Amino acid sequence: MKVKKYLAPSMTEAMKRIRGELGSEAVILSSKAVYKGGFLGLFKKRKVEVIAAIDPVSAPLQTVTKHDPQQASQVPDVDQSGGAELLKEIEGLKDLIKRMQINSSDRKYPENLQEPYDYLTEQEVDPSLRSQIMDELLEKWFAFKQRSTAEEIQAWLEESMLAILGKVENGKPGLQKKYINIVGPTGVGKTTTLAKVAAETILKHDKKVAFITTDTYRIAAIDQLKTYAKILNVPIEVAYNFEDFKRATERFSHYDYVFIDTAGRNFRNPQYVKDLNDLIHFTDEMETYLVLSLTSKQKDMEDIYRQFATIPIKQVIFTKADETSTFGAIFNFIHTHKLGAAYITNGQDVPDDIEIATPSQLLKMALEAKKYERSS
C-alpha cells in the first residue's frame, strides 16, 4: 500500500494531482482543511490536506484516458480476505442444502396445484408467502369443485402474485421531487441506473437535469459519473462535504431535477449511513431510492434495508434482472416491507436496459424466467 499526503489550494486541485500520480484507483483516506503561511498569524491561506493511497498489487495504476467505468466499478469495497470468502461459500452451501430439502419435500398438492407450488419454490418465494398464495389457490380449487384446468390455476396464480404487488405503489415513479437521491451498497448498479433514469428524464420528458456525486471515495467513481454527464450534456458537481453539497444545490437551483449519486462502501458498517446523513441534506424536496441487486442473497438485501432504516426510502430499484432466473426476492421484499419498486433494470446498456416496475412488468419478468410452463 502506497500512502501519500497532498497539500493543495482546493480539493479539486488535490484530486487532480492524486489522479495524475496514483491513478484513478487511488482511495482517499482522509481530507481536512489546514491554514498555512501568513505573517504574524495573519493572512493565512486555507489549504486542503488529503491523504491518498493505492494498493499496487490489487489495483494497477490506470490512466484517466483509458478509464473504463464498468471495469472500475466492479472492484468491490468490501473485505476480500480469505475468511470472508470462506464464510460466503459456507452460506451459499447452506442455502443450496435448504433449497434441496424444500425441492425434495413430498408432493402435497393435487396434480394441477403442485405445479404452481413447485414454481413458487423454485423462484424462492418465502415459505410463508408461498403458503398464503397456495391457500388462495386451494380455496378457489375447492370452490370450482376441484375440476379446474391448468390454465385456470395459472391465471389464479398470476392474480395472487399481482395482488401482492398491488398492495403498495409499484412503478409510476414519476419523479415527484426535485432531488433524486440514489443509495445502496457498492456495485449494485447505482451510477448506471442513475444515468439510465436521467437519460429518460432528459430525452423523453425534456427536463433540465444536473448531477451531484458524493461518491468521492474512489476517483474512478467520479470519472464514471462525469463520463455519463458528458454524454448527456449535463453539469456535474462533486461534493466532498456538506458545504460543497449545499453550494451545488444552490448552483442547480433553477434545474428541474438534480440526481445525486452516492458511495456504496460496506453497508454492514453503520458509519456508512451516518456519513450519508452528514453529507446529504435530506429535505422534503428529496426522494431517495434504494438500489438492490437481484443477484444478492435475500439475507443481504434484508441487512441492507435495515441499515438504511434511518433514511426515508421512497421506493426500491431492483437491478441485474438479466443475471438471475429467480424472482421470488422481489415478491418477498415488497410483501415484507410494504415498499414498492420504481424500476427494474436488466442489463448494462445505458439508457436502454431499464423498465418501469409496474406490477405487470414485475410479474412478466418473474414468469418469463421461470420453469413453470402452461400445460393444458
Ligand X SMILES: Nc1nc2c(ncn2[C@@H]2O[C@H](COP(=O)(O)OP(=O)(O)O)[C@@H](O)[C@H]2O)c(=O)[nH]1
| Residues forming the site for Mg ion (CB under 5 A) | 190-191, 221
187 binds, among Mg ion, ligand X, none (CB under 5 to 8 A by kind): ligand X
Sheet of 2-8: strand order equals 2-8, 45-54, 27-36
Q: Determine if 253 is a binding residue for ligand X (CB under 6 A).
A: no
Q: Determine if 218 is a binding residue for ligand X (CB under 6 A).
A: no
d(CA 290, CA 181): 9
Query: Of 149-157, 185-193, 248-256, 268-276, which segment contacts ligand X by CB under 6 A?
Result: 185-193
Beta carbon of residue 332, minimum distance to ligand X (angstroms, whole number): 20
Under 8 Å between Cβ of 3 and 53: yes
Q: What single string gives the DSSP state of each residue in 13-80?
A: HHHHHHHHHH-TT-EEEEEEEEEE--BTTBSPEEEEEEEEEE-TTTS----STT--HHHHHTS--S--
Q: Determine if 192 is a binding residue for ligand X (CB under 6 A).
A: yes
Q: Determine if 125 is a binding residue for ligand X (CB under 6 A).
A: no
Beta carbon of residue 347, minimum distance to Mg ion (angstroms, whole number): 17
d(CA 33, CA 10): 9
Query: Of 2-10, 45-53, 69-77, 121-129, which segment contacts ligand X by CB under 6 A?
Result: 69-77
Q: Choose, by CB under 6 A, the member of 24, 123, 148, 186 that binds ligand X.
A: 186
Q: Determine if 74 is a binding residue for ligand X (CB under 6 A).
A: yes
Under 8 Å between Cβ of 8 and 17: yes
Q: Determine if 348 is a binding residue for ligand X (CB under 6 A).
A: yes
The alpha carbon of residue 154 and the mean position of all alpha carbons in its chain are separated, in whole angstroms, by 32
Q: Choose, by CB under 6 A, the member of 13, 347, 356, 370 that binds ligand X.
A: 347
Of the candidates 194, 197, 213, the one whose C-alpha atom is nearest the C-alpha of residue 205 is: 197
Residues that bind ligand X (CB under 6 A): 70, 73-74, 184, 186-192, 264, 319-320, 322-323, 345-348, 353
